[in-house]
Chain A
Amino acid sequence: MNQDKNLSVPVDRRPSLIVIGNGMVGHHCVERLIELGAHHHHAISVFGEERHPAYDRVHLSEYFSGRDAASLALGEAGLYADHGVVLHLGEKVEKIDRTTREVVTLRGRYRFDRLVLATGSYPFVPAIPGSEGDARLVYRTLDDLDMIRAAAANARRGVVVGGGLLGLEAANALKRLGLEAHVVEFAPRLMPVQLDAEGGAALAARIEALGVGVHLSKATEAIVAGENGHRYRMRFADGTALDTDLVVFSAGIRPQDGLARDCGLEIAARGGVVVNDHCASSDPAIYAIGECASWRDRVFGLVAPGYRMARLVAERLAGQPSELFTGADMSTKLKLLGVDVGSIGDAHGASPGARSYRFVDERSASYRRLVVSEDGKRVLGAVLVGDNSFYDTLLQYVANAIAAPLAPEALILPAGEGAPALGIDALPDSATICSCHNVSKGTIRAAVDQGCLDLASLKRETRASTGCGGCSALLKQAFEAELAARGMAVDASLCEHFSHTRQALFDLVRLEGIEDFDTLMRRHGNGGLGCDICKPAVASILASNWNRPILDPALAPLQDTNDAFMANMQKDGTYSVVPRIAGGEITPDKLIVLGEVAKKYDLYTKITGGQRIDMFGAELHQLPSIWAELIAAGFETGHAYGKSTRTVKSCVGSSWCRYGVQDSVAMALRLEHRYKGLRSPHKLKFAVSGCTRECAEAQSKDIGVIATERGWNLYVCGNGGMRPRHAELFATDLDDETLVRYIDRLLMFYVRTADRLQRTSVWRENLDGGLDYLKSVVIDDCLGVCAELERQMALVVERYECEWANALSDPEKLKRFRTFVNQTQGDPGLRYVRERGQRRPARADEIPSVVSEESA
């Protein structure tokens, strides 16, 4: 401390701004503050009680289907640090001292000039005798989910108390954990807030059909020791009972307003920090946003209004003109346990004089209700169960006060009955497309004007569709309409030579049996030679379809840099060579051969991330002799140069590992030898782990396979690299044959439908309908294409041949493998230095200025 004098610590004279709470709303507020540059004028600190930085609570149940805390995290990792925002995680605020203007934690006192409360809510757990331990779980945070997972480990049945939105999500989570799930609701119907009686009944029927028990009008009186092998028994007021092994309470939320209460801020009768239209509390220096705030006696339990509050407070704090909070549309669209549920505006028809239209389909348990004004001219609200395709149009009618059609009932009648789809053109510029981030149609137009010409950059720029994601279809429509209006809409041309998308070219090649570039150009191209965009793309399409050797005379000039010489070109124009080491398994003899070859040609040698060995520095004319030696020793090409199957990484599995439950190496070998040689829109990486410890890192691969006691879990569409994406759990406990069949179908579906150079992760993210759709194509064969996909894969597998062995047998193909056609020497321009016992290309500053030996 006495050193302080000697240190010239600059005193931070900026006003101190503290945000308590690092949930979705608190995080959104900080993001917005940074966007507005408030961090330049304020010292911003954030306190989060949880140990995780802000994460996506809306998609919490995906935590049980493969997503981890990191993949649920919101925003970019370095955002806070990069902008000088101090994040105190796991540091609970104990007290707010309004007299000294300080926030107090166990670690210290922190001065504030402005304070934002974003403390959220906590689950309401009714006081029920006997409710403790695993009979008193809640569903709110990642830690809660970990506790549920632990409790589920030895459980067969789980009960959720509360049949609202979150309760049904929790039931879904239990189901994903493999439990028999039951929902117990106090009200006589499910989702009493959003649905009417018929809607609730339709939802209950659907959910029961999925094997989830629904128990309505049940008040739990006590929880006692269970019978029939279950841990607990729930006793209900009507004398009935239900045995279970765990109980999750999801019976509503309560504002987390304790800190505000203790420091004397005004609290609403039903809880929540009372805020005005600026979201300021009774102390004008303290704001409250999200679920801890009470505006006109209402607490908003959805993310969209919370975000709106966060934005307007951030604007106010940054000294920008800010809007007033005017309440929020509580419309919701979600998929609960796979069932579409939508609730829009005045779903209960509570407005004076409101009239309703109802459509009931008892066969498929679908229900729709349309609420219109007394004069029938305005749509006031709607309830949807079973089919949310009506949602977007209805929401636009309500939100933008669009005049209802003369026969409003058409809006909820099944398709084919002339339901007038509300085109994006009908919407005014002020129409909200994304309510989470408050993005209007006009904002989207402006972003396109400023150069957002693909959906990904539009989302990045406007943040539209990055909240709950419910508006993705509408956003796409709006985006395409904007492009169309600029006359550039449908230009999905591959390049100037082909006015087709890659998918369209793929289908043309397949359906017309085209096997060469010239035929495709003649029939479907715009003429000319082609270029370095369309030639490699067509080469890849031809290879995926027919799998002919890529250096066949008609194909060779199409190949991209690396494919053209079946090696990876490095910065100085030399190549690296990677033989296949399937599954990373190699005999000592073969390992010695690699060493000998590398030594003979003085190749720099490095182990790759895909469990094989890369040898660098081979000149073009050396490649054939290097490969002749490798092939003689039993190696084959590793396709490290191709947009194709690369490697199947594996752990050692049950044959050696004391934890392994399946033979992961054998499965890796089977997969690698099956899919080697498959050319695809981008590279493909696989991994197989022999147990749940996941040493092969399968969840970061395009195709990841993890052994279970009963078979294999299949994960799909992950990748590492620049933008890592966690693979998603696609199917569980598969036997070997089913696993291979699903991979066959999925890969071939990807190969057929992806864009040029699009990895599986991006393809999957752009897939309308998402993972559920992909499952329905691959598992349920909803498109009826699976047999054909399998046939196509079988052809590719059957035609596999080592490209290097093929080329070595054909002098014509080897013609280009010469550094010079009229000299046997190598490139005299290459310069190397030795480093750590191997050579590497010399840097410019390491090359002495040499007088050209040839000038004499």
Chain B
Amino acid sequence: MTLDRSEKALDAESAGQWRRLCSIDELVPGAGVTAWCRGEQIALFLLLAGSERNVYALANGDPFSGANVIGRGIVGDIAAQPVVASPLYKQHFRLADGRCIESPEIALRTWPVRLRDGWVEIDMDS
């Protein structure tokens, strides 16, 4: 999830499964946006902590409402764990692993993310 500068430079389109989604400038600090990739809707969240930039990628579909809205939720933390609140019925999902705080048997799909040359990339097949 955290950007990893030690990763070897790879062409996003060729090597491995890393796919370019969008420029880092499309993200909104402290909030989410949504990207489209191979039929999947991906909610991207950017959190700034000092000079550190943490990006998270979660499924945009809200399992409680069936609507694609997770990327529009409020970002916050519960007991120091970063979460997003579904904008419809307000369940909280951990950004790190997609786990629902209120119903731990439910989790959103998550994808590994990295920042590379000003691009946001995710590993679709992991």
Contacts and interface: CB of A to CB of B under 8 A. Distances in A.
Interface of A: 496, 528-532, 534-536, 556-561, 564-565, 569, 571-573, 620, 815-816, 818-823, 825, 827, 829, 844, 852-855
Given A529-B82, A557-B29, A569-B87, A820 B35 contact: yes
Contact of A854 (B30, B38, B47, B82): B38
B76 interface: yes
A821 B31 contact: no
A224 to B, nearest CB: 73
A827 B44 CA distance: 16
B87 A561 contact: yes
B88 interface: yes
Contacts of B65: 571-573
B72 A821 contact: no
Contacts of A530: 76-77
Given A556-B31, A571-B65, A827-B68, A532 B39 contact: no
Interface stretch (B1-9, B10-18, B20-28, B104-112): B20-28
Contacts of A823: 35-36
B31 A569 contact: no
A564 B73 CA distance: 9
B67 A573 contact: yes
Given A569-B69, A571-B67, A822-B35, A827 B41 contact: yes
Interface residues of B, number: 40
Contacts of B53: none
Given A571-B65, A815-B28, A532 B36 contact: no
A528 B82 CA distance: 9
A825 B36 contact: yes
Report, nearest first, the 5 A-B pairs whose CB atoms are least far apart: A854-B39, A531-B76, A573-B67, A557-B30, A561-B87
B41 A829 contact: yes
A530 B29 CA distance: 14
A818 B43 CA distance: 12
A187 B26 CA distance: 85
B36 A820 contact: yes
Interface in B52-90: 61-62, 65-69, 72-80, 82-83, 85, 87-88, 90
- Pick the most buried of B30, B78, B79, B88: most chain A CB atoms within 10 A of its CB: B30
Dominant secondary structure at the B interface: strand
A564 B69 CA distance: 13
B67 A819 contact: no
A819 B34 contact: yes
Contacts of B39: 852-855
Nearest to A847: B66
Contact of A816 (B22, B33, B87): B33
Contact of A536 (B26, B29, B47, B74): B74
B88 A564 contact: no
Contacts of B44: 821
A1 to B, nearest CB: 57
Contacts of B68: 573, 827, 829
Given A528-B77, A815-B28, A818-B33, A561 B22 contact: no
A66 B77 CA distance: 47
Nearest to B31: A557
Given A561-B88, A844-B66, 4 more contacts: A572-B67, A573-B67, A815-B26, A818-B33
Given A529-B82, A572-B67, A827-B41, A821 B75 contact: no
Residue among B31, B37, B83 with most chain A CB within 10 A: B31
A531 B77 CA distance: 6
Contacts of A816: 28, 31, 33, 72
A829 B39 CA distance: 10
B63 to A, nearest CB: 13
A569 B88 contact: yes
Contacts of B21: 821-822
Given A820-B36, A822-B21, A531 B74 contact: yes
A53 to B, nearest CB: 38
A571 B88 contact: yes
Contacts of B41: 820, 827, 829
10 contacts: A529-B47, A529-B75, A558-B74, A560-B74, A561-B74, A561-B87, A564-B31, A573-B69, A815-B28, A818-B34
A569 B28 CA distance: 20
A821 B35 contact: yes
A496 B78 CA distance: 8
Q: Among A571, A825, A855, which residue has the most Cβ atoms of chain B within 10 A?
A: A571
B85 to A, nearest CB: 4
B23 to A, nearest CB: 9
A313 B22 CA distance: 76
Contacts of A620: 72
Contacts of A529: 30, 47, 75-77, 82
B59 to A, nearest CB: 12
Given A557-B31, A855-B39, A532 B85 contact: yes
Contact of A531 (B29, B78, B87): B78
A558 B85 CA distance: 12
A528 B79 CA distance: 9
Residue with the highest number of chain B CB atoms closer than 10 Å, among A534, A569, A825: A569
A532 B88 contact: no
A571 to B, nearest CB: 6
B32 to A, nearest CB: 8
A559 B79 CA distance: 21
A9 B78 CA distance: 61
B92 to A, nearest CB: 8
